[in-house]
Structure 1
């Protein structure tokens, strides 16, 4: 490993240290820790997307980040995993004419099927990145699927998996959650064009039915001459008359809507990725009922400032009251177009820095106005970022094993602080002015930013360390996600003690995903209370010190 330090960086670090100096008399090191308590309750899924009603009348819901298909009880809202990770990763779900089930593995670029609950799962299409929506023609048994975001194409898929996919149409504008009508036509939205359209699968001919949507995410037919559409940005549930194209906003819901399914009794089920929610709407009475929901979607990186906890929530950016657990939206996916699936958050007195390894970006947000001031693009899987008082930003890239400072106009000037790291995951600034970083390879490493000493491994042999934060008395709390525990590390002696174990952390990412996947966030309050995110059940936990 090596590091390169600039004088301006050292000065900014000293300034930041002065701004965050701990109280003169810090609390004493506790003799023990209380059991973890949830200040934000757990929820199902990890972002919820495609919905379907199968032949048995079961409501099925897919999760991409959570890599699973869930069953949701249509009366009680109780949930259970029906098809677990990794095969269960589903952006959309479709039910065939004989009750067969098909779903899209969005991140894997695959389409999987099974003919019954007891039949084996098989891959019928692959090498289609961004495979998103799908549906069967219930008359002919033909299967269609679309690529969105990581591609823009519509395909006919052989359910037997014997023939290669047939390209129907390309460059449509994001043909998202669609449905095959009884006439054999495909009805669905164009995400990037604000339209709902009809496509003839025989020749790709496309007809616009209605436009003027903000981000139409999915559309389903009700068998009564209407197409029901959910708008991800506006949060509207819209009825479109097929004959005239007339639109009626029937219900205002929250933004970040993703998909819908219409049951035989007419009930419309709607999913919301930012709230892990599934709601049931009765179009005859106008009654809306929440079956299941959560305050957080996929909680990851975490920072604390006074009584405020800031959570990078993948499908949102949230502020949580550390005392009450009350959650407030700062950003929501789709409602706020600048948001790019944040996995970590850093903060200074003036800015937030939201890092997304998935999109390769660091987003800088003014804390007062909550306006995005800059987005740094083209990074190699940035797992954490820290805004500095001089306007620069430090970020850790797991794909390059480096930590870099970006500054100047459009952050074009790049200065490598350290390289050769074994997968830098999370960073924090110590009370001594040094940078501390967890390395996926199993280390907590100290990086002096004033060039006073070489890099030094503070701790080794950790089990996939992720979140890190310093206590008021000087030790460090580290989340070992592979061991599902928190440990306290004494800098002076190198000794460790377990803070809590058996924790719901360490969500697995599946093929092609980096090992840390969703980083466990750790923060420590001024009184020594530890806060942490739990990516296996979407809770936010609090662990109080005992003295």
Structure 2
């Protein structure tokens, strides 16, 4: 139901469920944190015309970047557009890797998209030889180097495996493949005809990519240290050319030897002058890809804690100022692609369905307290009154109670839930869970596991928070709105509609994709994360 269709205190009763719509002018919706173009940015490539292209895995799209305007537009949308790396063939054909789905695609100009390979989970980096032959690697979800048939008629030919994570690579002037071994801290060269590998340079923390300029210089990125490094490919001598921020992912060098570097956590691309090391921001975001959020009010001031996938950040609820606490891949940082966050007291709890982790963090210092592994697609986690953790496991359709040293004791207290995504502890100490696939909000007794459906007939409810009144605030993603649910009566009232939430995930990802987060301050102000815009919205009563 849309607000404009109902005036005053109108209501519609269907069985035991009451739906109502608040006054259209009762709430004011403002954008607290502006959005950005990508949803994490990875592979880069520059074509012969000088156009810059960028890929996003989580956003499942391939973009063309306007360097002058600092903007980006989608060149290949989801699902085929997912791109961890991009390469341009001598004849201008563009190829890219869909990391999560295990597919490799190609397209020449504006022609049809052709799938060249499939069934390669973790397909990551790729490069064309001067003769047009194509090579690609699996990294993280595999560890192998293949030759790919550019016609897509033959299966990939495996050349090597167990190399150590051969990431963003390129063929050098000697027709050898040069690239980083992510897990070994080395830059190596590979004779793809003989299947032989040798070390070019060593001593990197986490090397992510390597490319040549027109003069034969080799440039590499260290993602953990945030460095652009110049390498002599003959001697292995290294020189730090630019000090940037960690979470670097890929680089591309154009015909004028301008170096472009992508940064996952900044959701941005920089142009680096190789002579001076000066970096110019081409495009950047305040946030990378916000998911679940938690809100804590101190002295009347709301602070929003954001699981930003490639970073953990906070936002001032009044000014919208963004503060970074930690970012992925930074040296000495403990963080694993956070996708949901809850905050209460002196603790923030982050969870990631992708890595199967739940992390507890000291809210005031930002220091990690514990990192728990082995969960099956955890979508949210909260602290119960008795000190135990409760985790919503989408993979097992369960709520899992966690206790003991480093969370070693785990037991399901509620099972057969239809897409458990969001959790919140009510004033009655009952747990309320959003069951996205069933379209309902359920109440769980943490002592017995007994379940009572509180509200139903919702469209993909995800994030859930407790208002000062005791009502539940829910992100109803399928209807692109935020609603208030009365846990006593089950009545559902629309608070704000037409919100940019509910980014469609690529095939193979959970239908819930990135959880849309909601949080409520002590004064009743509601905050919502937009996974479509990478923004944070603020909803207040007028």
TM-score, normalising length from structure 1?
Answer: 0.91
Say if 2:257 is the partner of 1:259. no
Among 452, 457, 460, the residue aligned to 2:453: 457
* Aligned length in residues: 515
Residue 495 of structure 1, CA deviation = 2.5
Q: 2:440 aligns with which of 438, 443, 449?
A: 443
Q: Structure 2: how far apart are the matches of 1:388 and 1:338?
A: 24
**Equivalent position of 1:108 in the other structure:** 101
Counterpart in 2 of 1:320? 315
Q: Which moved more, 1:225-234 or 1:86-95?
A: 225-234
Q: Give the deviation of 1:412 after TM superposition.
A: 2.1
C-alpha displacement of 1:313: 0.7
Question: Which residue, 60, 64, 69 being the options, matches 1:71?
Answer: 64
User: Partners in 2 of 1:172 and 1:518 — Cα distance?
Assistant: 32
1:288 shift after superposition: 1.9
Question: 1:89 aligns to what?
Answer: 82
| Aligned-pair CA distance for 1:450 | 5.0
Aligned counterpart, 1:501: 497
Query: Take 2:413 and 2:73, find their aligned partners in 1: how far apart are those partners?
Result: 46
The CA distance in 1 between the partners of 2:164 and 2:383, in whole Å, is: 36
Matches within 5 A, 1:79-478: 79-117=72-110, 119-137=111-129, 139-306=130-297, 307-335=302-330, 336-388=332-384, 390-440=386-436, 441-451=438-448, 454-478=450-474
Q: Distance in 2 between matches of 1:292 and 1:282?
A: 16
How far, CA to CA, are the matches of 1:515 and 1:203 in structure 2? 44
Aligned equivalents of 1:497, 1:56: Cα separation in 2: 53
- Is the deviation greater in 312-321 or in 42-51? 312-321
Question: Contact 1:175–1:190 at 8 Å: present in 2 too?
Answer: yes
- Alpha-carbon separation, structure 1, partners of 2:490 and 2:433: 16
Give the structure 2 partner of residue 488 of structure 1. 484
Asked if structure 1 preserves the Cα contact closer than 8 Å seen for 2:214 and 2:255, the reply is no
Is residue 38 of structure 2 the alignment partner of residue 45 of structure 1?
yes
State the alpha-carbon separation in 1 of the partners of residues 385 and 491 from structure 2.
33
CA gap of 1:62–1:338, structure 2 versus 1, over 3 A, is same
Task: Report what 2:4 is aligned to.
Answer: none
Mapped to 2, the partners of 1:390 and 1:240 lie a distance apart of 56
The structure-2 alpha-carbon separation of the partners of 1:384 and 1:169, relative to structure 1 and needing over 3 Å to count, comes to: same
Alpha-carbon distance between aligned partners in 1 of 2:219 and 2:133, rounded to the nearest angstrom: 23
Matched-pair contact (CA < 8 Å) for 2:326–2:333: no
Give the Cα–Cα distance (whole angstroms) in 2 for the partners of residues 253 and 287 of structure 1: 10
Q: In the alignment, is the contact (CA less than 8 A) between 2:28 and 2:541 conserved in 1?
A: no
Shift of 1:262: 0.4
Distance in 1, matches of 2:419 and 2:474, equals 15
Task: Deviation per CA, 1:443-491: give whole Å up to 9, x if none.
Answer: 111113355x942111101110001112212222111112211112233
> SS of the residue aligned with 1:410?
helix
Cα distance in 1 for residues equivalent to 2:304 and 2:464:
15
SS in 1 for 2:422: strand
Task: Label 1:285 to 1:449 Cα distance change in 2 as closer, same or farther (>3 A).
Answer: closer
Check conservation: 1:364, 1:372, Cα contact below 8 A.
Answer: yes
The corresponding residue for 2:517 is 521
- The whole-number CA distance in structure 2 between the counterparts of 1:189 and 1:513 is 28
Residues 332-360 of structure 1: CA deviation (Å, up to 9, x unaligned) = 00015531111111234243221111111
Q: Given that residues 348 and 388 in structure 1 are in contact (C-alpha distance below 8 angstroms), is that contact kept between their aligned partners in structure 2? A: no
Q: CA deviation at 1:379?
A: 1.3
Please report how far the alpha carbon of residue 35 of structure 1 lies from its aligned counterpart in structure 2 after TM superposition. Answer: 3.6
Q: Distance in 2 between matches of 1:350 and 1:285?
A: 44
Gaps in structure 1 of 5+ consecutive residues: 1-28
Distance in 2 (alpha carbons) for counterparts of 1:337 and 1:476: 34
Q: Contact 2:188/2:201 (CA < 8 Å) preserved in 1?
A: yes
Distance 1:454 1:175 in 2: 50
Q: Deviations over 1:426-446 (max 9, x none)?
A: 100111211111001201111
C-alpha deviations, 1:34-65, integer Å up to 9, x for none?
A: 34212111001100000000122210000000
| Local SS of the residue matching 1:544 | strand
CA distance 1:491–1:386, change in 2 (3 Å): closer
Tell me the TM-score normalised to structure 2 length: 0.92
Aligned-partner SS, 2:501: coil
**Does structure 2 retain, via aligned residues, the 8 Å contact 1:33–1:543?**
no
Pick 1 or 2: higher relative contact order, CA cutoff 8 A, min separation 6: 1
Unaligned runs of 5+ in 2: 1-21
**Cα deviation per residue 1:172-195 (whole Å; 9 max; x = unaligned)?**
111000011232111111101111
Could you say which residue in structure 1 is the equivalent of 2:14?
A: none
Match of 2:16 in 1: none
CA contact (8 A) 1:30 1:545 kept: no
- Asked whether the 8 Å contact 1:347–1:387 carries over to 2, the reply is no
Q: CA–CA distance in 1 between the matches of 2:195 and 2:383?
A: 48
